[in-house]
Amino acid sequence: MNVELSTDFKDKYSELLGDRADKLFEAIESTSENSFRLNPLKPDFRNVSVSLDRPIPYSKIGYYGDIDGNSIDHISGYLYSQEPSAMYVSELLNPTKSDVVLDLCAAPGSKTTYLANIMCSKGLLVSNEINYKRAKVLSSNIERMGITNTIVTNNSPKDMEKTFEGYFDKILVDAPCSGEGMFRKDPESVKYWSQDYVEQCANRQKHILESAYKMLKPGGTLVYSTCTFSPEENEQNIDFFLNSHPDISLQNVEKYPGMENGMPAWGNNNPELTKALRMFPDQFNGEGHFMCKLEKSGTPSEIRVKPINSGVKKEDSKLIDKFSDENLTYTPHTNLLKINDFLFQAASLDNKFKKLHVLRNGLKLGEFKKNRLEPDIAMILAAKPDDLKGIYELDDSEYKKYLHGETVMVADQPSFSNKWIGVSFQGKLFSWGRYSNKQIKNVYPKGLRR
């Protein structure tokens, strides 16, 4: 691996780490370890074509190994590629099925999708990303994983704090950072490193943490993490945050082999910082990370929810019933929300979300067109086989054709006549199809075809 560390970077960490610095530099120049997660929201979720022989000790669903991004396991949302160190962040936050949770800097979605897994897609998870293009990637990853409890927002932390004061039980701040811990994963990023950039990141992180503080309920939990080594972005920022907010305290977290304590000497000699944890690639089988768990004292006050009008009219309800009667074994009827011509099963109908730029609210069911409801790919990715009245299992040849966008010719299937059916491969649902006259018309989204 060709990672050319700058002289300034080496000088900085040689001074901070002493003799150990050379081991860190050597680790950064070595090959990194890949890993992936299973998705327990999927039926028979361990039925995947990759080895599960190397489990990650601090994750019930994480494993070391490589996955194929073109495989049905990945396309259908059974697998998600995630760096091993980063998996522990969501485990630290450990939300429950009833929590109201915010992932404040969420793209591309690795930690959000993990949080949703832990929550069993229950409760409410707000996943925010300030960059619009990255927010779209975040939304697509949530969709692929079949997640239904999540609202994707595209706002600044400052805009969020104005709307959600004291709103969230748990908040994750996986802060944008200088990325030193990911140098060997992304050698190009080394070129952009400078001490000035580190200090810019640290300053931005202070503002993000302040917004998170305002949105956290009394009694709530905040997990802060970065993928950088720098004391300025880690211990020094947390020391500053603790001194600014006497009602915030650091909590002890379990440390697995290879994980190390935070460094008080790097944070104004605050002894509480040993409760934080660090992962250095010379000691831990993963990339460089810092993370800590913080708690806000006090008792939460009740949050009053002012519901918005669903926008679903009588004629819409008739089309929903018609589609359900023909194609589903159930009828969606709770938390329905119509935005323009699109129908969602909303994760929340709280009026507060009208003030934000929302890309996705819960599960996108479909789009109303002339006298019909046309289902969305998100609906099938969240579906269980028992939800559907018709499923067609593709063979290898048919699967390749379908991924290319081709119509698939099949034997006569009278029970499928003029219906929307689930299309699956190796028992994994990944698309809708429209059956008519011995053929399955391809509706797989053009942007996903291969």
pLDDT, tens only, 245-283: 999 999 999 999 999 999 999 999 999 999 999 999 999
Tokens 């600014």 appear where?
244
Q: How far is CA 166 from CA 156, 189, 303, 422, 427, in A?
A: 17, 36, 8, 42, 44
| pLDDT computed for residue 387 by the predictor | 97
Q: What is the pLDDT of residue 1?
A: 59
Catalytic residue among 120, 177, 201, 227: 227
CA within 13 Å, CB half, 137: 12
> Which residue from 119, 121, 56, 53 is spatially nearest to 90, judged by alpha carbons?
119
Evaluate whether residue 406 is within a structural domain: yes
Total number of domains in the chain: 1
- The 3-state DSSP class for residue 393 equals strand
Contact between 422 and 391 (Cβ < 8 Å): yes
Is 111 a known ligand-binding residue? yes
- 56 domain residue, yes or no: no
Spatial distance between the Cα atoms of 374 and 371, rounded to a whole number of angstroms: 10
Give the pLDDT score at 12.
98
As a whole number of angstroms, the distance between CA 376 and CA 339 comes to 14
Give phi and psi for 336, each to the nearest 5: -70, 140
Strands in 428-436's sheet, in edge-to-edge order, are 391-394, 420-425, 428-436, 439-442, 408-409
Give the pLDDT of residue 47.
Answer: 97
Instruction: Label residue 1 exposed, middle or buried (CB < 10 Å: 0-12, 13-18, 19+).
Output: exposed
The answer to whether residue 431 is domain-embedded is: yes
Q: Flag whether 227 is in a domain.
A: no
Domain span holding position 397? 390-450
Asked if 264 contacts 236 with a C-beta cutoff of 8 angstroms, the reply is no
Type of residue at 172? L
Region 24-41: mean pLDDT is: 95
Please state whether beta strands 35-38 and 336-339 pair in parallel, antiparallel, or not at all (unpaired). Answer: unpaired
* Strands of the 79-81 sheet, one edge to the other: 62-64, 35-38, 79-81
Q: CB–CB of 366/373 below 8 Å?
A: yes
Phi, psi of 138 (to 5 degrees): -55, -50
Distance of CA 289 to the CA centre of its chain: 18
- What is the spatial distance between Cα 273 and Cα 89, in angstroms, rounded to a whole number? 17
Q: Which residue is it, tokens 């002493």?
A: 18
Q: For the segment 406-423, what is each residue's pLDDT rounded down to a tens digit?
A: 999 988 888 887 799 999
The answer to whether position 173 is within a domain reads no
Q: Is residue 422, in this structure, part of any structural domain at all?
A: yes
Residue 319 pLDDT > 70, yes or no? yes
Is residue 346 part of an annotated ligand binding site?
Answer: no
pLDDT band at 3 (very low <50, low <70, confident <90, very high): confident
Position 300 in a domain: no
Average pLDDT over residues 337-343: 96
pLDDT single digits (tens) 359-402: 999 999 999 999 999 999 999 999 999 999 999 999 999 999 99
Rounded to the nearest 10 degrees, how much is the dihedral formed by the CA atoms of 183, 185, 187, 188? -100
Whether residue 110 is annotated as binding a ligand: the answer is yes
Is residue 227 among the annotated active site residues?
A: yes
pTM of the model as a whole: 0.96
Question: Across the chain, which distance is largest between two alpha carbons, in Å?
Answer: 75
29 is in an annotated binding site: no
Are 312 and 343 in contact by the 8 Å Cβ rule? The answer is: yes
Q: Please give the Cα distance from 192 to 409 (Å, whole number).
A: 52
Q: Which two tokens stand for residue 332?
A: 């969606």
Are the CB atoms for 121 and 94 separated by under 8 Å? no
pLDDT of residue 416: 86
Q: Could you report the per-residue pLDDT of 135-158, keeping only the tens digit for each?
A: 999 999 999 999 999 999 999 999
Tell me: the pLDDT tens digits for 107-136? 999 999 999 999 999 999 999 999 999 999
Cα–Cα distance, 423 to 399 (Å, whole number):
9
CATH number at residue 395: 2.30.130.60
Query: Degrees (nearest 5) of the Cα angle 267, 268, 269?
Result: 90
- Of 101, 113, 133, nearest in space to 39 by CA: 113
Query: Nearest 5°: phi and psi at 8?
Result: -60, -40
Question: What is the pLDDT confidence band of residue 217, given thresholds at 50, 70 and 90?
Answer: very high
Confidence class for position 41, pLDDT limits 50, 70, 90: very high
Q: Output the pLDDT for position 276.
A: 98
In contact, 95 and 68? CB cutoff 8 Å:
no
Mean pLDDT to the nearest integer, 308-330: 94
Task: Tell whether 108 is in a known binding site.
Answer: yes
Residue 288 — pLDDT band, cuts 50, 70, 90?
A: very high
Residue 2 banded pLDDT, cuts 50, 70, 90? confident
